[in-house]
Amino acid sequence: MGQQSQLGRRLSPRREKQSYIPTRVEIARNNIKYIGSGPYHSFAVDGKDNVWSWGLNSYGEAGNYTEDVGEQYPTKIDELAGKGVTVLDGGSHHSVAVTAKGECYVWGRLDGGQLGVEFG
């Protein structure tokens, strides 16, 4: 119920039940044209082809590697900006994006062979 900020806002225990009510959040100032999510993180693509992510980021699954892993609030994924992302989806600790040109990007925890990426 939003404990990892996957709803784009922080929920306090006394307001926890409010997560059941649709609430508008400010993700980006441009029109959002696509959204996607994993179990604990979420994504949006805006009208200028910027990709935004938020929520749990313990393995970089939200697309923004930092030394301070954990939850994050809406942040632009610079590596995907302007790439024409048409599909975004996430697993528990990994994510994938596909562009209009058919390019496939994967990130996050991929050490178990998730998404076909082999690590030696």
Single pTM value for the model: 0.75
Q: What is the pLDDT of residue 58?
A: 85
Residue 4 lies in a domain: no
Domain count, the chain: 1
Q: What is the CATH number of the domain that holds 61?
A: 2.130.10.30
Per-residue model confidence (pLDDT) at position 1: 45
Domain assignment of residue 61, yes or no: yes
SS (H, E, C) the chain: CCCCCCCCCCCCHHHHHHHHCCCCCCCCCCCEEEEEECCCEEEEEECCCCEEEEEECCCCCCCCCCCCCCEEEEEECHHHCCCCEEEEEECCCEEEEEECCCCEEEEECCCCCHHHCCCC
Q: Does residue 3 belong to any structural domain of this protein?
A: no
In a domain, 8, yes or no: no
Give the residue numbers spanning the domain of 100: 13-116
Pair 78, 34: CB distance under 8 Å? no
Q: Is residue 2 part of a domain?
A: no
Please indicate, yes or no, if residue 5 is contained in any of the structural domains.
Answer: no
29 occurs within a structural domain: yes
What are the per-10-residue average pLDDT scores of the chain (120 residues)?
51 61 68 90 92 88 70 84 94 92 91 71
